[in-house]
Amino acid sequence: MQKILLATDGSDYSLQSLKKIIPMAKTLQAKLTILSVAEEIPFIRGTEGMSKEELDALVSSINRETELGLEKARQLFKSAGITVETMMRAGKPAEVICEEAERGNFDLIILGDTGRGGLKELFLGSVSNKVVHQAKVDVMIVKRKD
């Protein structure tokens, strides 16, 4: 059985990309795991000068948002009759996605071309671009249509 890691940031763009995977997931009958990465505070610009309470509140907000996005993705597949596992990690998204894919012996990573950040680079979003170049397993990029 093939193991597929579906990476999402919970954004509408990312969820639209995941919707495109449903027919393929039904056909392959692969083991699917949805991963969402909460970006850690040291990596977020604009946090300089914030108090500990403000930083703690920001971390809590990021974690809640990440959990909500992960639950939306899980429900998307559940409503299609597909069982998925979910995992949430913290760190730099591209690095965490690649690490989890290798650690979990996944055969394929699937993620959208752009996510929460929108179009940050000429052709691919920054996370998807990094994953394509850093992953040690196959990567499928799902393009969204506007």
Considering only CA atoms, which of 62, 37, 58, 34 is closest in space to residue 48? 58
What are the backbone dihedrals phi and psi of residue 139, each rounded to the nearest 5 degrees, phi first?
Answer: -130, 135
Q: Express each pLDDT in 64-111 by its tens digit.
A: 988 999 999 999 999 999 999 999 999 999 999 999 999 999 999 999
Q: Domains, the chain, ranges and CATH?
A: 3-142 (3.40.50.620)
Considering only CA atoms, which of 140, 126, 144 is closest in space to residue 25? 140
User: Which of 26-30, 60-64, 119-123, 125-129 is the least confident region?
Assistant: 119-123
What's the confidence (pLDDT) of residue 86? 96
Q: Express each pLDDT in 43-58 by its tens digit.
A: 566 667 778 788 788 8
**CB-based contact 119:11 (threshold 8 Å):** no
Angle 97-103-109 from CA coordinates, rounded to 5° = 40
Statement: residue 6 has pLDDT above 80: yes
**CB-based contact 15:71 (threshold 8 Å):** no
Against a cut of 0.95, is the pTM above it? no
